Amino acid sequence: MPPERIGPFRYERHAPALPSLDADGVERRRHPVLIAGGGPVGLAAALGLARWGVRSVVVEADDSVCEGSRAACISRRSLEILDRLGAVRPFLDKGLAWVRGRSFYRTEEVFVLEMPSAPGDKFPPMINLEQYYIESYLLDAIAAVNAASPGMVEVRWGSQVVAQAQDGGGVAIEVENALGRYRTHGDWLLACDGGQSFVRASLGLELQGVGYRGRYAIVDIELASAHPTERRAWFDPPRARGTTILMHRQPDNIWRVDYQLAAGQDAAEVLQPGQVRRFVQTHLDAIGEGHLPWHPVWTSIYRAGAMTLEAYRHGRILFAGNAAHAMPIFGVRGLNSGFDDADNLVWKLAAVVRGRAGDALLDSYSTERLEAFRVNADSAMRSTEFMSPPNRGFELLREACLSLAGRHKGIARLVSPRQTHAISYTATPLSQPSDDFDDGPPPGAPLWDMPCGDGTHLTDRLAFDRFALLCFGHHAPAQEVAAVTASPGWTALPCTVKELAVTGEIARRYAAREGTAYPVRPDGHVCGRWQSPTTATLLAAVRSACRREGAHA
């Protein structure tokens, strides 16, 4: 059982319940969306759908938020997503921001990572925050939505999906908890039920890709250290030769220590309390903090892998997060990829549910997020092969790089952990052929957020439930687009115009002149750009991005 308290964090337990059932044990209500799994990705998806006005039911096997730090690093891109969900404030208040990572070979510092950061940035490049806080803050945001619109999101704790079946009109699932078993129906099912996904297994699907031999013990410790928040990595440290150790500071004096297991080590033996205490104490002695009192609060074993389903849509079942793919921890792509999945999916599913988009729009979710997986997996593979060499040849190469990195900056770059970054969808069917620009975000790329000079940022001008048309200067076609997309005959998502100055830093970075226009999707990705577009061009861009043809209903 998870501890009832870690630092100031308290676990709240939730009792299972049964909905209103008919005589055959079938729930009387049908739901627009069912979500299997109440982790960060499932909760983010439910919250996103609710902000679009789409109700959902989350079925979660546990009776509380998760135990341990688990996914503990949240990227700037994920903070932007949480901002669109209306949930970001407590993350910023509690999370620990950081920009620097330091890597050591034995006792020598050989590489310093500096993530891009500037005083005018809306969000830091990364914050550290334990997953139990992440889930709790998402639940708080859901509670606020439910207070304004009762029943938008229902979380069914201590319940698990044990069967599923779908047809052309929806999905039926069987749910089991301590009180009994029942059947319920939904129009769509989101499988966000993690790496051991029942929904995935029930369809006979398997993740395909690369599993790495390296295993890591993960230990959360409570330690009153004054060391700043930064990523630290030690390769082949003198008191633990042959291993790699990572260390991250988290709120409430919780420190996460990840250390590599030697080949052939028994995982159960490594996690014995005495073994954990000896290893961690040796490490703390080596970094000059062995005199500080500490105690472990959570332990686990992790094996790296980069694997994915071949498609994330299977009829009326859509996969997201670890149910869809697995990422190594190096570069913190796991949870951050899952948040990106939810962000990409919810506007599309909501548009389909509300009749504002064609069913084919959901196929683009799979296309785009599979492209993102491939980009992430390529970087993750390079990081993992460096952190956990798959064979002796890679070990020799790593030793050579590390031994030379302190004196040769070009070689030192090979030590970079290749942190997660926002992904551009270069092969998406939702983008339109566009004009050539000297600068600015191309079609498929996330919008470049920038200060507007009045205390706000560019992303503050976007609405989560529609397209935005960034127009530099006054542009008559843009105003016509706003009028047409607001009319009763318009069946795609609406579009609002955001006029920007033709002069200044934003215009310069966007290579804009009078009449330049960038249509932007609800998830912040650019779907086209033109210097002097016509009304027809802009309307076609919005309809195409909703997978609808023609200009009117």
The DSSP-derived string for 17-78 is ----B-TTSEEEEEEEEEEE--SHHHHHHHHHHHHTT--EEEE-SSSSSPSS-SS-EEEHHH
| Overall average pLDDT of the 232-245 stretch | 87
> What homologous superfamily does CATH list for 29-96+127-208+306-376?
FAD/NAD(P)-binding domain (3.50.50.60)
Average pLDDT of the residues in 33-41: 98
Pairwise pLDDT comparison (455 vs 138), residue with the higher score: 138
Q: How confident is the model at residue 549 (pLDDT cuts 50, 70, 90)?
A: low
235, β-bridge pairs: 105, 244
User: What's residue 2's pLDDT?
Assistant: 55
Q: Which two tokens stand for residue 131?
A: 């997953």
d(CA 235, CA 249): 19
pLDDT, tens only, 492-515 = 999 999 999 999 999 999 999 999
Q: How confident is the model at residue 148 (pLDDT cuts 50, 70, 90)?
A: very high
Rounded CA gap, 522 and 52, in Å?
Answer: 11
The two structure tokens encoding residue 240: 């633990």
**Which pLDDT score, from 0 to 100, does residue 341 have?**
98
Count how many Cα atoms sit within 13 Å of the Cα of residue 363 in the half-sphere of its side chain: 7
> From CA 398, how far away is CA 395, in angstroms rounded?
5
Measured CA to CA, the distance from residue 45 to residue 365 in angstroms comes to 13
pLDDT, mean over the chain: 92
| Model pLDDT for residues 372-418, shown as the tens digit of each residue | 999 988 887 777 767 777 677 777 777 788 888 777 777 767 677 77
pLDDT score at 392: 73
Which are the contacts of 536, defined by CB distance < 8 A and separation ≥ 6?
551
Average pLDDT of 5-9? 87
For tokens 């499988």, what's the residue? 191
- Write down the pLDDT at residue 3: 63
Residue 365: pLDDT over 70: yes
* pLDDT at residue 172 is higher than 60: yes
CA dihedral 153, 156, 157, 161 (to 10 degrees): -120
What is the edge-to-edge ordering of all strands in the sheet holding 495-500?
495-500, 467-472, 517-520
Q: Is the pLDDT of residue 1 over 70?
A: no
Whole-angstrom Cα Rg for the chain: 24
Lowest mean pLDDT among 156-165, 238-247, 277-286: 238-247
Burial class (CB in 10 A: 0-12, 13-18, 19+), 224: exposed
Can you tell me the mean pLDDT for 39-59? 98
Three-state secondary structure of 451-507: ECCCCCEHHHHCCCCCEEEEEECCCHHHHHHHHHHCCCCCCCCCEEEEEECCCCHHH
Q: What is the mean pLDDT of residues 3-32?
A: 93
Helix 76-84 and helix 40-51, axial crossing angle in degrees, nearest 10 = 40
Secondary element (H or E) of residue 326: strand 325-326
Residue 552: pLDDT band with limits 50, 70, 90: very low
Per-residue model confidence as pLDDT tens digits over 519-543: 999 999 999 999 999 999 999 999 9
Listed by start position, the domains of the chain span 29-96+127-208+306-376
Q: Could you tell me whether strands 467-472 and 317-319 are parallel, antiparallel, or unpaired per DSSP bridges? A: unpaired
Residue 553: per-residue pLDDT: 37
Phi/psi at 214 (5° precision): -65, 135
490 pLDDT band, cuts 50/70/90, is very high
Give residue 252's identity as a one-letter amino acid code: D
**What is the distance, to the nearest Å, from the Cα of residue 541 to the centroid of all Cα atoms in its chain?**
27
> Which of 280-284, 312-316, 416-420, 544-548 is predicted least confidently?
416-420
pLDDT, average across residues 25-31: 97
- 541 vs 529: CA distance, rounded Å: 10
